[in-house]
Amino acid sequence: MSEDRTPAQIEADIARRRQELAVTLDEIAVRVHPRTIVGDAKARAASAVDRTAGRAYVAANRAVTDVRGKLVSPDGQPRMDRIVPVALAAVAVVGLLAFTTRRRRL
């Protein structure tokens, strides 16, 4: 069948293939351009930061929900039997830190 092609058809085919090659080379030039590479790297870094921040938010939200579930009853009332020991422990830790810091200064 290729013997049946006319010179005009062959020239048109060559012209079409040249155009396709030019488009391909333009795409490659854009991909390897330093500005494109830097932009892609920035986009990947921003995406990684967004994923990390999203995971951190979910973890923090889960932790707050867990603590709230332990310190607040289902009807929204504070559970004093659990809050008081936690508050006393927090005061003891802060007092110990203050005492230790003051002792180092002297």
Band of residue 10 on the pLDDT scale cut at 50, 70, 90: very high
**In this predicted model, what pLDDT tens digit does every residue of 20-29 receive, in sequence order?**
999 999 999 9
Distance CA 104, CA 106 (A): 5
Once rounded to an integer, what is the mean pLDDT over residues 1-12?
85
Residues whose CB is less than 8 angstroms from the CB of residue 79 and which lie 6 or more positions away in sequence, other chains included? 70, 71, 72, 73
For the cut 90, the answer to whether the pLDDT of residue 74 exceeds it is no
What confidence score (pLDDT) does residue 104 get? 77
Distance CA 42, CA 48 (A): 10
Residue with tokens 């932009």: 39
Each domain of the chain, given as residue ranges in start order, spans: 2-75, 76-106
CB 78 within 8 A of CB 72: yes
**In this predicted model, what pLDDT tens digit does every residue of 24-69 receive, in sequence order?**
999 999 999 999 999 999 999 999 999 999 999 999 999 999 988 9
